[in-house]
Structure 1
Amino acid sequence: MVIRKGTQADLVSVEQLYNDIHTAEETGQQTIGWIRGVYPTRATAQAALDAKDLFVLEDAGEILGAARINKAQVDSYAEGDWEFAARDEEVCVLHTLVVSPSASGKGYGKKFVKFYEDYALSHGCPELRMDTNARNAAARGLYKKLGYKEIGIVPTVFNGIPDVQLVLLEKHL
């Protein structure tokens, strides 16, 4: 298993991951709070690739996870009551973490978050921030288990999805 920078050739696989997540949500197998055709889409992955902050998790030649890692805090973060008052250059953000529904429960999400933490530290960012939809109980449970603190819930329109209760999370390393 390896986590690496995404490439143009990975876009088809990342888009398929998004579609698999949308299908799992539409059939009631998962609750994420995303909407097919709105977020995330191939354009979401392309934007991350273009910014050089798309990462993929590959195991046995198959892309089973993806995320965007950068220092871009979404606008809703300004409403957060963050416990740690870090300078922007000290904050690293994990966006759009996905793991294939077919690979769920195998520890890939945990491994991706560990990669994110190591990446952040190696880039001088001891303050970690991320968000998830309040409806996404699985992600909230994982992040809590990994030491992330929910610092608030902000009502917002998130990436074109209306009426999202956005859970803001942080961890200081």
Structure 2
Amino acid sequence: MSSTTCTIRPATEADLPAVVAAYAEHSAHERTHTAYTVFQEGVYPTERDARAALQEGALHVALLGDTLAGSIICNEREPGEYASVPWPARERRPEARALVLHLLMVRPCMAGRGMGTALVRYACELARGRGLDVVRLDTGMQNLPARHLYQKLGFAVICGGCMKIGGVLEHKDHLFLERELSDLS
């Protein structure tokens, strides 16, 4: 996806240092401002998480010019907690296939420029291009900016529950959201 201000594309090895630096920038920002995530520097997210996503072709980056503005991980791997979520698309059509969004990260210095919106829209188009039926994600109940973004983009909150974020951080107040692609506008 390209526009006059933003380019979003699959990440390359050359992008990895900037993605990891963005994770550190985010952690530093949350130490001195309101913390909306429960991420822990050195625990999650880490270079290992970004590298694993890069190697599976799931890491995507948003650039303003040559500057990293944000990143997102998109794959079809649902965390174990998703099995107990009463996903409407799955209940209507058990064969429905989903793209799962993980670790949407917009650099704090890029906030307010539409990068989160652009990354989520890109992911929805990526899912549609792959012939998938739905996009799913999870976020913390306390993450008001993310909740607002996802609901603005048509994601419905399905339920709340516990989640082991990144497979390592326990969080009891988590929300599970879904957007069917048939209503993508």
**TM-score scaled to structure 2, two decimals?**
0.89
Deviation per residue, 1:119-162 (Å, 9 max, x gap) = 10000112110111112111001101111001011113322112
Instruction: Write out per-residue CA displacement over residues 83-140 of structure 1, whole angstroms, 9 at most, x where no aligned residue.
Output: 1115566211111010010010111100111101111000011211011111211100
Aligned to 1:115: 122
**Matched residues, number:** 173
The SS at the match of 2:44 is: coil
Do the aligned partners of 2:102 and 2:137 also contact (CA within 8 Å) in 1? yes
Q: 3-state DSSP class of the match of 1:157?
A: strand
CA distance, structure 2, for counterparts of residue 42 and residue 108 of structure 1? 21
Q: Which runs of 5 or more residues in structure 1 are unaligned?
A: none
User: What does residue 125 of structure 1 align with?
Assistant: 132
Q: Secondary structure at the match of 2:36?
A: coil
Distance 1:163 1:53, change over 3 A: closer
Structure 2 equivalent of residue 161 of structure 1? 169
Q: From the superposition, tell whether residues 92 and 30 of structure 1 become closer, same or farther in structure 2 (CA, over 3 Å).
A: same
What is the RMSD of the two structures over their aligned residues, measured on CA atoms? 1.4
- Is 1:146 matched with 2:153? yes
Is the Cα–Cα contact under 8 Å of residues 162 and 170 in structure 2 kept in the other structure? no
For residue 73 of structure 2, what is the aligned residue in structure 1? Answer: 68
State yes or no: 1:99 paired with 2:80.
Answer: no
Q: Structure 1 vs Structure 2: percent identity of aligned residues?
A: 31
1:67, 1:94 within 8 Å by CA — same for their partners in 2?
Answer: yes
Q: What is the one-letter code of the residue matched to 2:51?
A: Q
Cα distance in structure 1, aligned partners of 2:17 and 2:136: 28
Shift of 1:30: 3.8
Mapped pair 1:83 → 2:88: yes
Are the equivalent residues in 2 in contact too, given 1:131–1:168 (CA < 8 A)? yes
> Which secondary structure state, in structure 2, belongs to the residue aligned with residue 11 of structure 1?
helix
Return 5+ residue gaps in structure 2 as ranges.
1-5
**For the structure 1 residues 149 and 13, does the alpha-carbon distance in structure 2 shift closer, same or farther, using more than 3 Å as the test?**
same
CA shift in 2, pair 1:88/1:2, >3 Å: farther
Q: CA deviation at 1:33?
A: 1.5
Cα deviation for residue 20 of structure 1 reads: 1.1
TM-score norm. by structure 1 comes to 0.95
Match of 1:64, as an amino acid?
A
